[in-house]
Structure 1
Amino acid sequence: MSKVMPGRYTAQMEGSFVVFIIGMRINKLWAVHKWLPVFMAMNPMLQELYRNKELGFLDASFHLSWRGVSLVQYWKSFEQLEDYARKGANHLEAWRHFNKKVATSGVVGIYHETYLVPEGHYECVYNNMPVYGLAKAGAHIPASGKRETASGRLGRNEKPAQQG
Protein backbone atom coordinates (compact mmCIF):
# COMPACT_ATOMS: atom_id res chain seq x y z
CA MET A 1 0.00 0.00 0.00
CA SER A 2 1.34 3.42 -0.90
CA LYS A 3 2.02 6.05 1.74
CA VAL A 4 -0.56 8.83 1.87
CA MET A 5 1.03 12.26 1.50
CA PRO A 6 -0.91 14.69 3.73
CA GLY A 7 -1.70 18.03 2.11
CA ARG A 8 -2.16 19.31 -1.43
CA TYR A 9 0.20 18.37 -4.23
CA THR A 10 0.40 18.71 -7.97
CA ALA A 11 2.55 17.28 -10.75
CA GLN A 12 5.30 18.93 -12.69
CA MET A 13 6.37 17.64 -16.09
CA GLU A 14 9.28 18.87 -18.16
CA GLY A 15 8.28 19.34 -21.78
CA SER A 16 5.35 17.83 -23.62
CA PHE A 17 4.15 14.28 -22.93
CA VAL A 18 1.52 11.74 -23.96
CA VAL A 19 -1.42 10.32 -22.02
CA PHE A 20 -2.44 6.95 -23.41
CA ILE A 21 -5.56 5.22 -22.11
CA ILE A 22 -5.94 1.58 -23.06
CA GLY A 23 -8.46 -0.93 -21.89
CA MET A 24 -10.66 -3.92 -22.45
CA ARG A 25 -14.34 -4.53 -21.87
CA ILE A 26 -15.73 -8.01 -21.27
CA ASN A 27 -18.81 -8.38 -23.46
CA LYS A 28 -19.56 -12.06 -22.73
CA LEU A 29 -18.74 -12.85 -19.11
CA TRP A 30 -19.12 -16.63 -19.50
CA ALA A 31 -16.44 -16.79 -22.23
CA VAL A 32 -13.58 -16.61 -19.72
CA HIS A 33 -11.34 -18.78 -21.93
CA LYS A 34 -11.51 -16.05 -24.60
CA TRP A 35 -11.17 -12.81 -22.59
CA LEU A 36 -8.81 -13.96 -19.83
CA PRO A 37 -5.80 -14.26 -22.20
CA VAL A 38 -6.47 -10.67 -23.37
CA PHE A 39 -6.47 -9.52 -19.75
CA MET A 40 -3.34 -11.52 -18.91
CA ALA A 41 -1.40 -10.12 -21.88
CA MET A 42 -1.06 -6.69 -20.27
CA ASN A 43 1.23 -7.72 -17.41
CA PRO A 44 4.17 -8.89 -19.60
CA MET A 45 3.91 -5.66 -21.61
CA LEU A 46 4.01 -3.52 -18.46
CA GLN A 47 6.95 -5.49 -17.08
CA GLU A 48 8.81 -4.95 -20.35
CA LEU A 49 8.04 -1.22 -20.25
CA TYR A 50 9.05 -0.74 -16.60
CA ARG A 51 12.32 -2.63 -17.20
CA ASN A 52 13.22 -0.59 -20.31
CA LYS A 53 12.74 3.10 -19.46
CA GLU A 54 14.56 4.07 -22.67
CA LEU A 55 11.37 3.06 -24.53
CA GLY A 56 9.76 6.31 -23.28
CA PHE A 57 7.18 4.82 -20.93
CA LEU A 58 6.90 6.80 -17.68
CA ASP A 59 4.22 5.13 -15.56
CA ALA A 60 0.71 3.64 -15.50
CA SER A 61 -2.25 3.24 -13.19
CA PHE A 62 -4.97 0.57 -13.31
CA HIS A 63 -8.70 1.20 -13.12
CA LEU A 64 -10.90 -1.86 -12.64
CA SER A 65 -14.61 -2.21 -13.26
CA TRP A 66 -16.81 -5.27 -13.14
CA ARG A 67 -16.70 -5.48 -16.96
CA GLY A 68 -13.03 -4.84 -17.56
CA VAL A 69 -9.94 -2.80 -16.93
CA SER A 70 -8.34 0.33 -18.24
CA LEU A 71 -4.85 1.73 -17.80
CA VAL A 72 -3.82 5.34 -17.90
CA GLN A 73 -0.27 5.45 -19.20
CA TYR A 74 2.17 8.34 -19.45
CA TRP A 75 4.77 8.47 -22.22
CA LYS A 76 7.57 10.88 -23.07
CA SER A 77 6.49 11.14 -26.71
CA PHE A 78 4.00 9.84 -29.26
CA GLU A 79 6.88 8.57 -31.39
CA GLN A 80 8.09 6.34 -28.55
CA LEU A 81 4.57 5.05 -27.88
CA GLU A 82 4.06 4.27 -31.56
CA ASP A 83 7.48 2.65 -31.82
CA TYR A 84 6.63 0.32 -28.95
CA ALA A 85 3.23 -0.50 -30.49
CA ARG A 86 4.92 -1.44 -33.78
CA LYS A 87 8.06 -3.15 -32.46
CA GLY A 88 7.55 -4.17 -28.82
CA ALA A 89 7.90 -7.95 -28.67
CA ASN A 90 5.26 -8.48 -25.99
CA HIS A 91 2.82 -6.06 -27.62
CA LEU A 92 3.16 -7.64 -31.06
CA GLU A 93 2.62 -11.14 -29.66
CA ALA A 94 -0.48 -10.04 -27.72
CA TRP A 95 -1.87 -8.13 -30.73
CA ARG A 96 -1.39 -11.10 -33.07
CA HIS A 97 -3.01 -13.46 -30.56
CA PHE A 98 -5.97 -11.10 -30.10
CA ASN A 99 -6.51 -10.78 -33.86
CA LYS A 100 -6.21 -14.53 -34.43
CA LYS A 101 -8.30 -15.76 -31.50
CA VAL A 102 -10.93 -13.19 -30.47
CA ALA A 103 -10.96 -9.99 -32.55
CA THR A 104 -14.08 -10.87 -34.53
CA SER A 105 -15.86 -12.89 -31.81
CA GLY A 106 -17.32 -9.93 -29.91
CA VAL A 107 -16.42 -11.61 -26.60
CA VAL A 108 -14.12 -8.80 -25.56
CA GLY A 109 -13.69 -5.25 -26.75
CA ILE A 110 -10.48 -3.27 -26.62
CA TYR A 111 -9.92 0.45 -26.97
CA HIS A 112 -7.33 3.16 -26.64
CA GLU A 113 -7.23 6.94 -26.58
CA THR A 114 -4.12 9.04 -27.11
CA TYR A 115 -3.67 12.62 -25.93
CA LEU A 116 -0.68 14.75 -26.86
CA VAL A 117 -0.16 17.26 -24.06
CA PRO A 118 1.92 20.34 -24.88
CA GLU A 119 4.19 21.66 -22.16
CA GLY A 120 2.23 23.58 -19.53
CA HIS A 121 -1.21 22.54 -20.84
CA TYR A 122 -2.27 20.33 -17.95
CA GLU A 123 -3.21 20.72 -14.33
CA CYS A 124 -3.88 18.30 -11.52
CA VAL A 125 -4.20 18.23 -7.77
CA TYR A 126 -3.80 15.42 -5.26
CA ASN A 127 -5.18 16.04 -1.76
CA ASN A 128 -4.19 13.52 0.93
CA MET A 129 -3.23 10.95 -1.72
CA PRO A 130 -0.26 8.69 -2.31
CA VAL A 131 2.04 9.82 -5.12
CA TYR A 132 -0.24 8.97 -8.05
CA GLY A 133 -0.93 9.49 -11.74
CA LEU A 134 0.92 12.29 -13.46
CA ALA A 135 2.76 13.15 -10.22
CA LYS A 136 4.19 9.61 -10.18
CA ALA A 137 5.17 9.84 -13.84
CA GLY A 138 6.76 13.26 -13.34
CA ALA A 139 7.56 15.23 -10.19
CA HIS A 140 5.33 15.38 -7.09
CA ILE A 141 5.41 18.95 -5.77
CA PRO A 142 3.37 21.03 -3.28
CA ALA A 143 0.28 22.76 -4.71
CA SER A 144 1.02 26.05 -3.02
CA GLY A 145 1.76 29.62 -4.00
CA LYS A 146 1.11 30.07 -7.72
CA ARG A 147 0.14 26.39 -7.90
CA GLU A 148 -2.67 26.73 -5.32
CA THR A 149 -5.50 26.92 -7.89
CA ALA A 150 -6.26 25.15 -11.16
CA SER A 151 -5.80 28.46 -12.99
CA GLY A 152 -2.48 29.00 -11.27
CA ARG A 153 -1.29 25.51 -12.19
CA LEU A 154 -2.14 26.41 -15.79
CA GLY A 155 -0.10 29.59 -15.55
CA ARG A 156 -3.06 31.97 -15.27
CA ASN A 157 -3.49 34.59 -12.58
CA GLU A 158 -6.88 33.78 -11.07
CA LYS A 159 -7.57 34.32 -7.37
CA PRO A 160 -8.58 31.31 -5.26
CA ALA A 161 -12.32 30.74 -4.70
CA GLN A 162 -13.61 31.62 -1.25
CA GLN A 163 -13.67 28.56 0.96
CA GLY A 164 -16.43 28.32 3.54
Structure 2
Amino acid sequence: MAQNVFSGRYTAEPGRESVTVFLIGMRANRWWKVGTVGKIASAMPRMLQHLAGDPASGMLGYEQWFGRTTVLLSYWESPEHLRKFAADRESPHLEPWRRFMKETSGSGDVGVWHETYQVPASGIEVIYNGMPLFGLAKATAHVPVGAGTNTAKQRLRRSARPSPSAAPAASVTQ
Protein backbone atom coordinates (compact mmCIF):
# COMPACT_ATOMS: atom_id res chain seq x y z
CA MET A 1 0.00 0.00 0.00
CA ALA A 2 1.41 3.39 -0.98
CA GLN A 3 1.92 5.95 1.76
CA ASN A 4 2.07 9.70 1.33
CA VAL A 5 5.64 10.88 1.54
CA PHE A 6 5.93 14.43 2.83
CA SER A 7 8.58 16.47 1.05
CA GLY A 8 10.39 18.94 3.23
CA ARG A 9 11.30 18.88 6.90
CA TYR A 10 8.84 18.00 9.65
CA THR A 11 8.97 17.47 13.37
CA ALA A 12 6.59 16.18 16.02
CA GLU A 13 4.68 18.32 18.47
CA PRO A 14 3.76 16.04 21.40
CA GLY A 15 1.47 18.64 23.02
CA ARG A 16 2.15 17.35 26.53
CA GLU A 17 4.69 17.68 29.34
CA SER A 18 6.19 14.26 28.60
CA VAL A 19 5.79 11.12 26.54
CA THR A 20 6.20 7.57 27.75
CA VAL A 21 8.18 5.53 25.23
CA PHE A 22 7.74 1.78 25.49
CA LEU A 23 9.86 -0.68 23.53
CA ILE A 24 8.89 -4.34 23.62
CA GLY A 25 9.92 -7.32 21.60
CA MET A 26 10.70 -10.97 21.37
CA ARG A 27 13.55 -12.98 19.94
CA ALA A 28 13.23 -16.41 18.36
CA ASN A 29 16.22 -18.08 20.02
CA ARG A 30 15.30 -21.45 18.53
CA TRP A 31 13.71 -20.37 15.27
CA TRP A 32 13.03 -23.96 14.24
CA LYS A 33 10.42 -24.12 17.03
CA VAL A 34 8.02 -22.24 14.77
CA GLY A 35 4.92 -23.28 16.74
CA THR A 36 6.21 -21.84 20.00
CA VAL A 37 7.43 -18.66 18.32
CA GLY A 38 4.10 -18.22 16.52
CA LYS A 39 2.10 -18.81 19.69
CA ILE A 40 3.99 -16.07 21.53
CA ALA A 41 3.93 -13.66 18.57
CA SER A 42 0.19 -14.10 17.99
CA ALA A 43 -0.70 -12.35 21.25
CA MET A 44 0.55 -8.91 20.16
CA PRO A 45 -1.91 -8.22 17.29
CA ARG A 46 -4.84 -8.79 19.67
CA MET A 47 -3.32 -6.37 22.18
CA LEU A 48 -2.75 -3.70 19.52
CA GLN A 49 -6.28 -4.09 18.16
CA HIS A 50 -7.68 -3.73 21.68
CA LEU A 51 -5.60 -0.60 22.35
CA ALA A 52 -6.47 0.98 19.00
CA GLY A 53 -10.16 0.52 19.78
CA ASP A 54 -9.86 2.23 23.17
CA PRO A 55 -8.49 5.80 22.99
CA ALA A 56 -8.79 6.05 26.79
CA SER A 57 -6.09 3.35 27.07
CA GLY A 58 -3.45 6.04 26.70
CA MET A 59 -1.51 4.50 23.82
CA LEU A 60 -0.82 7.30 21.34
CA GLY A 61 0.60 5.19 18.52
CA TYR A 62 3.20 2.62 17.53
CA GLU A 63 5.62 1.31 14.92
CA GLN A 64 6.77 -2.30 14.57
CA TRP A 65 9.48 -4.32 12.86
CA PHE A 66 9.63 -8.08 12.30
CA GLY A 67 12.57 -10.43 12.13
CA ARG A 68 14.32 -12.93 14.34
CA THR A 69 14.10 -10.17 16.95
CA THR A 70 10.84 -8.25 16.69
CA VAL A 71 10.48 -4.71 18.00
CA LEU A 72 7.38 -2.71 18.83
CA LEU A 73 7.95 0.97 19.59
CA SER A 74 4.93 2.60 21.24
CA TYR A 75 4.13 6.01 22.65
CA TRP A 76 1.91 6.45 25.71
CA GLU A 77 0.35 9.34 27.59
CA SER A 78 1.92 8.18 30.86
CA PRO A 79 3.58 5.23 32.61
CA GLU A 80 0.35 4.86 34.61
CA HIS A 81 -1.63 4.20 31.42
CA LEU A 82 0.89 1.54 30.40
CA ARG A 83 0.87 -0.15 33.82
CA LYS A 84 -2.93 -0.08 33.95
CA PHE A 85 -3.13 -1.89 30.61
CA ALA A 86 -0.52 -4.46 31.65
CA ALA A 87 -2.33 -5.31 34.91
CA ASP A 88 -5.94 -5.11 33.67
CA ARG A 89 -7.59 -8.53 33.95
CA GLU A 90 -9.99 -7.54 31.16
CA SER A 91 -7.26 -6.58 28.67
CA PRO A 92 -5.67 -9.12 26.29
CA HIS A 93 -2.26 -8.79 27.98
CA LEU A 94 -2.34 -10.49 31.37
CA GLU A 95 -3.49 -13.95 30.26
CA PRO A 96 -0.88 -14.35 27.45
CA TRP A 97 1.84 -13.06 29.79
CA ARG A 98 0.92 -15.60 32.47
CA ARG A 99 0.78 -18.38 29.85
CA PHE A 100 4.26 -17.39 28.59
CA MET A 101 5.65 -17.40 32.14
CA LYS A 102 4.13 -20.83 32.84
CA GLU A 103 4.81 -22.59 29.52
CA THR A 104 7.81 -20.96 27.82
CA SER A 105 9.80 -18.79 30.22
CA GLY A 106 13.14 -20.35 31.08
CA SER A 107 13.10 -22.77 28.13
CA GLY A 108 15.38 -20.59 26.02
CA ASP A 109 13.10 -21.03 22.98
CA VAL A 110 11.83 -17.45 22.92
CA GLY A 111 13.16 -14.40 24.69
CA VAL A 112 11.01 -11.39 25.53
CA TRP A 113 12.10 -7.94 26.61
CA HIS A 114 10.84 -4.43 27.21
CA GLU A 115 12.16 -0.99 28.08
CA THR A 116 10.18 2.03 29.31
CA TYR A 117 11.31 5.65 29.17
CA GLN A 118 9.57 8.74 30.53
CA VAL A 119 10.77 11.55 28.27
CA PRO A 120 10.12 15.22 29.11
CA ALA A 121 9.00 17.35 26.15
CA SER A 122 12.18 19.40 26.55
CA GLY A 123 14.19 16.22 25.90
CA ILE A 124 12.51 15.30 22.63
CA GLU A 125 14.14 16.11 19.30
CA VAL A 126 12.82 14.55 16.11
CA ILE A 127 13.16 15.35 12.44
CA TYR A 128 11.56 13.73 9.39
CA ASN A 129 12.65 14.59 5.85
CA GLY A 130 10.99 12.95 2.86
CA MET A 131 9.15 10.49 5.10
CA PRO A 132 5.57 9.29 5.42
CA LEU A 133 3.90 9.85 8.79
CA PHE A 134 6.10 7.98 11.23
CA GLY A 135 6.99 7.57 14.87
CA LEU A 136 6.17 10.30 17.35
CA ALA A 137 4.81 12.62 14.66
CA LYS A 138 2.34 9.92 13.60
CA ALA A 139 1.36 9.32 17.23
CA THR A 140 0.93 13.00 18.13
CA ALA A 141 1.15 15.90 15.65
CA HIS A 142 3.14 16.11 12.41
CA VAL A 143 4.19 19.74 11.90
CA PRO A 144 6.46 21.52 9.42
CA VAL A 145 9.79 22.72 10.74
CA GLY A 146 9.70 26.48 11.17
CA ALA A 147 10.72 29.33 13.43
CA GLY A 148 11.84 27.94 16.76
CA THR A 149 12.19 24.36 15.48
CA ASN A 150 14.70 24.76 12.67
CA THR A 151 17.69 23.24 14.50
CA ALA A 152 18.11 20.23 16.76
CA LYS A 153 19.15 22.60 19.56
CA GLN A 154 15.91 24.58 19.20
CA ARG A 155 13.77 21.44 19.12
CA LEU A 156 15.42 20.16 22.31
CA ARG A 157 14.87 23.44 24.17
CA ARG A 158 11.18 23.78 23.45
CA SER A 159 8.77 23.31 26.28
CA ALA A 160 5.47 21.49 26.09
CA ARG A 161 3.02 23.37 23.92
CA PRO A 162 -0.58 22.58 23.11
CA SER A 163 -0.67 20.23 20.14
CA PRO A 164 -1.61 22.05 16.95
CA SER A 165 -3.66 20.19 14.42
CA ALA A 166 -1.42 18.61 11.85
CA ALA A 167 -1.35 21.03 8.97
CA PRO A 168 -1.86 19.63 5.47
CA ALA A 169 1.48 19.44 3.73
CA ALA A 170 2.75 18.87 0.25
CA SER A 171 3.29 15.18 -0.26
CA VAL A 172 4.22 12.77 -2.98
CA THR A 173 2.89 9.25 -3.23
CA GLN A 174 5.49 6.56 -2.94
Q: Give the distance between the partners of 1:82 and 1:40, measured in 2 at CA.
A: 21
What is the deviation of 1:138?
0.7
SS of equivalent to 1:146: coil
Q: Give the distance between the partners of 1:17 and 1:108, measured in 2 at CA.
A: 29
The residue type paired with residue 21 of structure 1 is L
Q: 2:157 aligned to 138, 155, 158, which one?
A: 155
Q: Give the distance between the partners of 1:137 and 1:23, measured in 2 at CA.
A: 19
Which residue does 1:121 correspond to in 2?
A: 123
**1:52-67 pair list within 5 angstroms:** 52-65=54-67, 67=68
Q: Give the distance between the partners of 1:30 and 1:119, measured in 2 at CA.
A: 43
The residue type paired with residue 79 of structure 1 is E
Which residue does 1:2 correspond to in 2?
A: 3
TM-score after normalising by structure 2 = 0.85
**1:20-39 pair list within 5 angstroms:** 20-39=22-41
**1:80-119 pair list within 5 angstroms:** 80-87=81-88, 88-119=90-121
Which residue does 1:74 correspond to in 2?
A: 75
SS of equivalent to 1:73: strand
The residue type paired with residue 78 of structure 1 is P
Q: Give the distance between the partners of 1:129 and 1:119, measured in 2 at CA.
A: 22
Which segments of 5 or more consecutive residues in structure 1 lack a partner in the other structure?
Answer: 157-164
What is the deviation of 1:154?
1.1
What is the deviation of 1:155?
2.0
**1:133-152 pair list within 5 angstroms:** 133-152=135-154
The residue type paired with residue 11 of structure 1 is A
Which residue does 1:159 correspond to in 2?
A: none
Q: CA RMSD in A?
A: 1.2
For these two proteins, the number of residue pairs brought into alignment is 155
Which segments of 5 or more consecutive residues in structure 2 lack a partner in the other structure?
Answer: 159-174
% identical aligned pairs: 43
What is the deviation of 1:97?
1.6
